[in-house]
Amino acid sequence: RTLSTPRRSPTPRAPMGLTDNRCANRVLTGVALGGTVGGAVGACYGTYEAFSAGIPGMLKVRHVGRTTVGSAALFGLFLGAGSLLQCGRR
């Protein structure tokens, strides 16, 4: 050994888990994408429904928020489940 080259320690490796699992990354991406699309669709639909139904005042905001969150959760759930099923086939 020469003095100019220091001894390298072994690089720590992450345990096999969610950080290195392609299937989990696909499922999480599916949930995130489904939640985003579902939230956008829910906000548009909730706004349309609130104005067409004649919901008074600040109850419109609650109705739009409830529709947005519900739609985002449902879309995210189904897109995540679909991604999980597709991941099992490969």
pLDDT of residue 89: 72
Q: Report the distance separating Cα 61 and Cα 63, nearest Å.
A: 5
The distance of Cα 86 from the centroid of its chain, to the nearest Å, equals 17
pLDDT tens digits, one per residue of 17-71: 444 588 889 999 999 999 999 999 999 999 999 999 999 999 999 999 999 999 9
- Confidence band of 2 (pLDDT split at 50, 70, 90): low
User: Comparing C-alpha atoms, which of 64, 15, 23, 17 is closest to residue 44?
Assistant: 64
What does the angle CA 33 – CA 68 – CA 46 come to, to the nearest 5 degrees?
130
For the full predicted model, state whether its pTM sits above 0.75. Answer: no
